[in-house]
Amino acid sequence: MTHEELQESVPLYAAGALDRSERQALEAHLLSGCVSCHAALKDYQSIAALLPLALSPITPPHSLKATIMADRNPAPLPAEAASNESARQSLEPGEWMNHLFPPVAPARSSSLPWALGFATLLIMAVGGYFTWSVSTERSVTTSNIQQLEASLKETSTKFANLQREVGDQTQSLAALRNELQQRTDETAETKERLVQREAELEEMRVQLSQRGNTRTVETPQDELATLLRVPNAKTVSLTGSDMAKQAAGFLLYDSRTQKVWLYSINLPESPAGTTYQLWAIHDKPVSIGTFSIDTGKAAHLLVKKVPSFVDAKAFAVSLEPSGGRPQPTGPIYLLSQS
């Protein structure tokens, strides 16, 4: 018999409704140490012991007392019967459980068979309900597990699709980034070539003007507009000193041609016999060039080639005697921020 079959026969065993072979099989199972069946038997025996209490009391017959008194002094057993009794096993199969859990002996009654039948039906109903409950719970659990597995499978599929889409978008983004970088490089290269062509055209125009013995008057704004389009041009600002607080200037340096443009505005008119001189200050001042401001002139543009421009610590414009001096001797009108 299986464990489930033996477990279902425990209520019948507690009610004494098993035949000999079934009883012996269950007792052997209990002796093997089954804890669940052992606990179930204890509960069912307690229920079976309470069933007689529900019976209605009856008046005992008048001969019951005489029968009980006669049983108190039984006749002695013959010697042969006594020897046979000692030769018996100490316990019959099934009696060991009565010693462990002695059942309450119910009073004899004519209603005992009916009570035993009712108890058997009750125990079988409880066992059937318990079996049905376990089976239902197991079915619900199995259904929940199947639903979770299906949901997990669907989620895994969606996640894999998202990963594939992210990979595709990453590749597309990398391709767009490479294409954008390529276009940026091409634009920068085109811009640089355009600036070079404009500078070459400007030089050719100046040369043609000089060959034709014609003087071309060019405004400072034109010169600045041409130079500001050069990508590697460096700018240094000059501010007016106390001698000329309204004056200002800018130094623009093109590292490609090593030329310096000085664009100054609002400098006072240089008096007769004087000239303005631009200095690059290294360890000591070095002259870059001279220029004059005529009457009514507000701005001036000076262009010189200065290879050591980037090494200079500061720049200044002073007023010197005509022709300039090797070192500054006159007042400072413009000075760069160090």
pLDDT tens figures, 12-47: 888 887 888 888 888 888 888 888 888 888 888 888
CB 305 within 8 A of CB 260: yes
Per-residue model confidence (pLDDT) at position 90: 40
- The band of 207, judged by pLDDT with boundaries at 50, 70 and 90, is low
Here the CATH number for the domain that contains residue 240 is 2.60.40
Tell which of 132, 147, 162 closes a domain: 147
SS (H, E, C) 242-301: CCCCCCEEEEEEECCCCEEEEEEECCCCCCCCEEEEEEEECCCEEEEEEECCCCCCCEEE
Per-residue model confidence (pLDDT) at position 275: 94
Asked whether residue 76 is domain-assigned, the answer is no
For the stretch 175-194, pLDDT in tens is 999 989 988 888 888 877 77
Percentage above 90 pLDDT, the chain: 21
Nearest to residue 259, comparing CAs of 297, 211, 202? 202
Q: In whole angstroms, what is the distance from residue 318 CA to residue 331 CA?
A: 5
Per-residue model confidence (pLDDT) at position 82: 47
- The band of 217, judged by pLDDT with boundaries at 50, 70 and 90, is very low
Mean pLDDT, range 149-156, rounded to an integer? 90
Asked whether residue 258 is domain-assigned, the answer is yes
> Domain containing 49: what range?
3-55+92-147
Mean pLDDT, range 77-99, rounded to an integer? 49
Mean pLDDT, range 62-75, rounded to an integer? 70
Q: Residue 76 is encoded by which pair of tokens? A: 């002695």
Residue 276 has pLDDT above 70, yes or no: yes
Asked whether residue 199 is domain-assigned, the answer is no
24/128 same-domain check: yes
Residue 313, φ and ψ in degrees, nearest 5: -85, -30
Per-residue model confidence (pLDDT) at position 288: 92
Task: Give SS3 for 36.
Answer: helix
Q: In whole angstroms, what is the distance from residue 280 CA to residue 21 CA?
A: 124
Tell which of 130, 147, 164 closes a domain: 147
More confident residue, 52 or 13: 13
128/22 same-domain check: yes
Residue 170 has pLDDT above 50, yes or no: yes
* DSSP codes of every residue in 191-222: HHHHHHHHHHHHHHHHHHHHHTT-PPP--HHH
Mean pLDDT, range 245-274, rounded to an integer? 88
Tell which of 111, 129, 147 closes a domain: 147
142/244 same-domain check: no
Per-residue model confidence (pLDDT) at position 225: 67
CB 312 within 8 A of CB 283: no
Per-residue model confidence (pLDDT) at position 85: 47
Asked whether residue 155 is domain-assigned, the answer is no
For the stretch 91-115, pLDDT in tens is 454 454 554 455 544 444 455 667 7
Q: In whole angstroms, what is the distance from residue 302 CA to residue 220 CA?
A: 10
141/247 same-domain check: no
How many other CB atoms are there within 10 angstroms of residue 32's CB atom?
8
Per-residue model confidence (pLDDT) at position 205: 66
Nearest to residue 267, comparing CAs of 318, 337, 226, 191? 318
Per-residue model confidence (pLDDT) at position 134: 87
pTM of this prediction?
0.37
Per-residue model confidence (pLDDT) at position 208: 65
Per-residue model confidence (pLDDT) at position 97: 53
Instruction: Tell me the CB-side half-sphere exposure of residue 328, using CA atoms within 13 A.
Output: 21
Number of domain units in the chain: 2
Asked whether residue 163 is domain-assigned, the answer is no
Q: In whole angstroms, what is the distance from residue 8 CA to residue 132 CA?
A: 13
Q: In whole angstroms, what is the distance from residue 177 CA to residue 170 CA?
A: 10
- The band of 231, judged by pLDDT with boundaries at 50, 70 and 90, is low
